[in-house]
Amino acid sequence: MNAISKISSNLDVAQLHIIQEFHISICDFSIVFQPIYDIRNQSIRYMEALLRTKDQRFSNPLEAVEYFVNKGKSDVLTAMLFQLCENYIKSFARNGILTTINFEPQQIASKRFVPLLKKIFQNMRMCPGSVLLEVTERDCPEKYRTQFISNLLKLKKLGFRIAIDDFGVANSNFDLLSEVPFDLIKLDMVFLRNAMASPIHFAVLEICSSLQKKIGIPVCIEGVENDELLELVKRLNVDYAQGYGLGRPKPFDELHN
């Protein structure tokens, strides 16, 4: 079965129309992976899947994501993303590593999102627990928020793991934290990046890191660019860390080299 046929099995005819209408080709997209390390065990716990594109209409991957979302065709993006990741998700899972995938709030708030993920995972014979969905409400319009939270809770019941991303920079992150039982909190890199020079940023970093002990949700600090920052993260006593100093995004075939 070719790539388009596999995507077709997860989408209806109306949703597939965008592929022909806007000349979208799955061949113009690829995935790279960045490790998230378990600091205590010095091992990789997660691999974050990051979208890349060579489609000349998009200057960066975020533009491609926004293109699908703004056209009301985020389901196509979701199906294509899992098609690109399927074999890698299964390969990582065999080694006890979970794959993390980022989703925009409006993708998750779609009434079709949860049924679509159920269908994709059934068709691909994948376990929901092998994936960690990274979400943020940074750009979530108020009119979508109720459906957004409702879908997150439905996904949790289905066995999906969920992380709150860019924690500390969105307006209502703490509200969301109180409404959804997250599996991981990812602190935005801005706090670690400025912690060495700014007492305020360091204090915020300490407070957010303490959430792991206070509410029992593991914390990952993003932006670990060098050994000095890694030592600082270790002193904060969190479980996980991510950044260029630990591993840059690479295609799957280059991860074991």
Tens-place pLDDT, residues 78-124: 888 998 999 999 999 999 999 999 998 888 998 899 999 999 999 99
Given a cut of 70, whether residue 159 has pLDDT beyond it is yes
Question: Tell me, what's the pLDDT at 73?
Answer: 80
Least confident of 1-10, 115-124, 166-175, 212-221: 1-10
The 10s digit of each residue's pLDDT in 18-67 is 445 555 677 788 999 999 999 989 999 999 999 998 877 787 888 888 88
Biggest distance spanned by C-alpha atoms of the chain: 56
Rounded distance between C-alpha atoms, residue 255 and residue 257, angstroms: 6
Max mean pLDDT range (56-65, 165-174, 212-221):
212-221
Rounded distance between C-alpha atoms, residue 185 and residue 162, angstroms: 9
Number of neighbours of residue 217 by Cβ within 10 angstroms: 17
Sequence-distant (6+) residues with CB within 8 A of 13 are none
Question: Tell me, what's the pLDDT at 77?
Answer: 85
Question: Tell me, what's the pLDDT at 18?
Answer: 45
CA–CA–CA angle 39, 45, 48 (5° rounding): 115
Question: Tell me, what's the pLDDT at 106?
Answer: 84
Give the burial string for 105-120 (b: 16+ CB within 10 Å, else e).
bbbbbbebbbebbeeb
Given a cut of 60, whether residue 253 has pLDDT beyond it is yes
Rounded distance between C-alpha atoms, residue 22 and residue 171, angstroms: 35
